[in-house]
Amino acid sequence: MKLYFTFIKNFQEFLLAISIVILACLPASLVFVPNWFDGEKLTLLYALAHFSLFLVMLIRPLADIFRGVTWLRPLVILRKGMGVFSASIIVSFILSKLIVGSSGYFNSMVSADYWSFSNLAILAHLADISAMLLLITSNNLSKQLLGKMWKNIQRLSYVYFYGSGLYVFFILHDNFLLIYLVLVTLFTVLAWLRNHNFILQTNNPQTI
């Protein structure tokens, strides 16, 4: 078990480190060397972001439901690293737009079209803003400064997940996102039922 916790700690640090590298390099690369990023590479980046977010949203419900499975609960620690990794990719695309023209980007945010339900634009933009807020506040300093508000801001992960998931499924017709949405919704409801004693608890602990 000690080795397992060590692996989780090291993998968390790796995720945070790679997220910093992404934020430092990807926005400028998207602007100044766009030929590096063909449709396949962009699709891969978004797929990594969505899959990481899917794991973030799934881990805690699974740990709450299967409390006897002792190796699940420690994985909750990784939600921070995976969430930062996911948000770093999405925020990098936002930063690339700011590099190209920050005034134009901010002006578009106050336009009616930006918040339009046409082509579900509002879902995509709510997801983008949520990802940025989550990334900015995913640190101990923000947690101390924001106090009780910090947990409320972290609940924006649901806006990030469902906003981006629904947008990609309905507009880009990516069926993987439908699977992610169904699984997270199902296990989140089951976890809520378990936590409120609507589902009987069992005491059959399992070890690694």
For residue 122, what are the contacts with CB-CB under 8 A and spacing of at least 6?
115, 116
Span 181-194, pLDDT tens digits: 999 999 999 999 99
pLDDT, tens digit only, all 208 positions of the chain: 889 999 999 999 999 999 999 999 999 999 999 999 988 999 999 999 999 999 999 999 999 999 889 899 999 999 999 999 999 999 999 999 999 988 888 888 888 888 888 888 899 999 999 999 999 999 889 999 999 899 999 999 999 999 999 999 999 888 999 999 999 999 999 999 998 877 655 444 444 4
Task: Give burial (CB, 10 Å; 0-12/13-18/19+) of 152.
Answer: exposed
Span 61-94, pLDDT tens digits: 999 999 889 899 999 999 999 999 999 999 999 9
Helices (H) and strands (E) in the chain, counts: 8, 0
Q: Is 86 in contact with 131 (CB distance < 8 Å)?
A: yes
With tokens 């579900």, the residue in question is: 120
Q: How many CB atoms lie within 10 A of CB 112?
A: 6
For residue 159, what are the contacts with CB-CB under 8 A and spacing of at least 6?
126, 127, 130
Q: Is 164 in contact with 47 (CB distance < 8 Å)?
A: no
Tokens of 132: 């940025």
